[in-house]
Amino acid sequence: MSNSDTISIGIAANDDSYSVIPTIFSPECDNNNVNDDNIAGSSEALAEGISTMLAGVIRDFDSKAEDASRSQFQLISALDRLTSELDQLLEDAPLPFIMQHATKLSNVRKRVSSLNLLLRSVQHRLDNIDRMMSIGSLDNKSNVGGSK
């Protein structure tokens, strides 16, 4: 192949797959008309192959975009329906029922706070006992060391 040779690429469609077929055209051929026809035919085949391939990809993307749009619409509809149902439940819920549960939650909160205070007190006492034992242990060691 010389420096003046031209490479053209043709695409052959076979069902859903495409094959790339390189074709070499040399200007040194005797029949330039045949080469021009081959180049024009190859260019048209290449353009048609690319067009066919891209058309399938574009159809696939369009289909996926439509599916996403339908899914978004269904999601919005479901959210609207759930919001209206929740609003209806809140309107229909009797106030004493809600107050009863709010009172229960408040009582649980008070009991947890009380237990938290009790645990802090116990922890403080344990810290004091530990400190007193550490001081007593140090005093014992110093007394034992001093009596020797």
Are the C-beta atoms of 37 and 23 separated by less than 8 Å?
Answer: no
Q: Which residues contact 25 (CB under 8 A, 6 or more apart)?
A: 5, 6, 7, 8, 35, 38, 39
pTM: 0.35
pLDDT tens, residue by residue, 115-127 = 888 988 999 999 8
The full set of domain ranges for the chain reads: 6-84, 100-141
pLDDT tens, residue by residue, 62-102 = 888 888 888 888 888 888 888 888 778 777 777 777 778 87
User: Tell me, what's the pLDDT at 31?
Assistant: 53
Q: How far apart (Å, rounded) are the C-alpha atoms in residues 7 and 17?
A: 22
For 131, the 3-state DSSP assignment is: helix
